[in-house]
Amino acid sequence: MDGEADGMSKRKSDLWKKLVAEAAEAEIDAAASVTVEQAEKDLAAWGFDVAAERAKAEAFLVQLEGRVSETRVKAAPPTELKPKK
């Protein structure tokens, strides 16, 4: 009898995992279909200041670009290999 119970428990567990995976896929599909305009409206409705968050992101990217440029300037130029005579 325990074997049957274990088998049924495994089937229930597998079914639950399948249902969760399908629900996750549906949520991913729904999120992927949202337009930028709709996402911004949703975020604003949830209390996010979209313009402020975008400004923070832009400032971060500018700072990041500056660091990359500084790194390139500080890096030694590649050395050229000269053929031996």
For the segment 55-82, what is each residue's pLDDT rounded down to a tens digit? 999 999 999 988 877 766 666 565 665 6
Look up the pTM and report it: 0.45
Encoded amino acid at 47, one letter: G
Q: Please report the pLDDT score of residue 81 as a whole number.
A: 58
For the segment 22-44, what is each residue's pLDDT rounded down to a tens digit? 999 999 999 899 999 999 999 99
Nearest to 57 by CA among 47, 48, 69, 45: 48
Residue 51's alpha-carbon distances to 21, 42, 56, in angstroms, are 34, 13, 9
Q: Please report the pLDDT score of residue 1 as a whole number.
A: 54
Query: Which token pair is 76?
Result: 């030694």
